[in-house]
Amino acid sequence: MKFGTLYAYWTHEWTGDYKHFAKKVKDIGFDILEISAGDLLKMSDTELTELKALAADLGIEISSNIGPPKSKDVASADPAVRQAGITFLTDIMKAMDKLDSRALVGVMYTYWPNEFDDLDKQAAWDRGVQSVKQLGKIAGDLGIDYCLEVVNRFETNILNTCEEAVQYLKDVDCDSVKMLLDTFHMNIEEDNMADAIRLAGSSLGHVHLGEGNRNLPGQGSLPWNDIGKALRDIGFSKGVVMEPFVTMGGTVGEDIKVWRDISRGADAAQMDKNISESLAFVRKAFLG
């Protein structure tokens, strides 16, 4: 397993200075920095090349995270919107290839945050499957894992459980399309998180970690030893990435619904100390 974190632990907007965060996560001891995939379309080839070189020098990997906007919904009833989504995600993957980022992760079978204005689940499922088939082929050609995030009922009505994701992947039938399980969402939807991980098996391409209130792993009550054993049982060797959201404010706080200071007033130094301790905790729990 390789351990990482999302940059947004330290930010209030869905953007950041990724060179700064690459150095920070390396110093803390992470193997992966997860960044905002949408930002890649704003970066020049020179900027992508520079970030790629820095990551290589530091010995870290970069994964790319996206929640496509409604105007780029690949499951939309509007064919023009679906095509816009396919083009958007294709352009992101082309930029990822320049960056040598090999995992695209997120709710890429619809849009996020969802407004629940179309509750015909089967129709959205079928349209999304056809779009993801196309995107999965592009991902495969580029050597990218296209990892579909399973999220809770308050964020989508399409993929809420591992069991649903297993069926969706069967319908897509593309080796480069994987699933992403997130402990925060699993805590809401799964009867047993360890069993869900074992059900995912080799189709699991990425994991997100967070407590039931989106705090750092080890700061709450989730069964981390059981989660780690399940990952070992399936021979999981890909990215295990923290996705903690602990401070209020900005677009991040609004989208994630952080309405109180979960960090308990931590300053910058304490934030770094907290995530460093969480990394040590997760490594111990997951590596046995």
Q: Where are the beta strands (DSSP E) in the chain?
A: 2-6, 32-36, 61-66, 103-106, 145-149, 177-182, 204-209, 239-242
| Alpha carbons 158 and 176: distance in angstroms, whole number | 20
Q: pLDDT tens for residues 173-221? A: 999 999 999 999 999 999 999 999 999 999 999 999 999 999 999 999 9
Instruction: Quote the percentage of the chain above a pLDDT of 90.
Output: 99
- Interacting residues of 211 by C-beta distance below 8 A, sequence separation 6+: 183, 184, 217, 218, 219, 220, 221, 222, 244
Active-site residue, selected from the candidate residues 34, 61, 149, 155: 149
Only one residue has tokens 């579909």, namely 148
Query: Quick one: pLDDT band at residue 107, thresholds 50, 70, 90?
Result: very high
Instruction: Quote the percentage of the chain above a pLDDT of 70.
Output: 100
Find out whether 228 and 287 touch, Cβ atoms under 8 Å.
Answer: yes
| Alpha carbons 17 and 108: distance in angstroms, whole number | 24
Asked about 211 being catalytic, the answer comes back as: no
| Alpha carbons 69 and 76: distance in angstroms, whole number | 11
Strands 145-149 and 2-6: unpaired
Mean pLDDT value across residues 109-124 = 95
Query: Quick one: pLDDT band at residue 288, thresholds 50, 70, 90?
Result: confident
pLDDT at residue 77, as a whole number: 98
From the number of C-beta atoms within 10 Å of its C-beta (0-12, 13-18, 19+), residue 43 rates as middle
pLDDT at residue 124, as a whole number: 98
Looking at the predicted structure, is the pLDDT value of residue 129 above 90? yes
From the number of C-beta atoms within 10 Å of its C-beta (0-12, 13-18, 19+), residue 229 rates as middle
Bridge partner residues of 146 (DSSP): 104, 177
| Alpha carbons 284 and 6: distance in angstroms, whole number | 20
Cα within 13 Å of Cα(222), Cβ side: 29
Say which CATH topology domain 2-287 has. Answer: TIM Barrel (3.20.20)
pLDDT at residue 103, as a whole number: 98
Bridge partner residues of 3 (DSSP): 240
Q: pLDDT tens for residues 13-70? A: 999 999 999 999 999 999 999 999 999 999 999 999 999 999 999 999 999 999 999 9
Q: Which stretch of DSSP H or E encloses residue 233?
A: helix 224-233
- DSSP class of residue 155? T
pTM of the model: 0.97
Find out whether 105 and 206 touch, Cβ atoms under 8 Å.
Answer: yes
Tokens of 30: 């992470």
Radius of gyration, alpha carbons of the chain:
18
Asked about 155 being catalytic, the answer comes back as: no
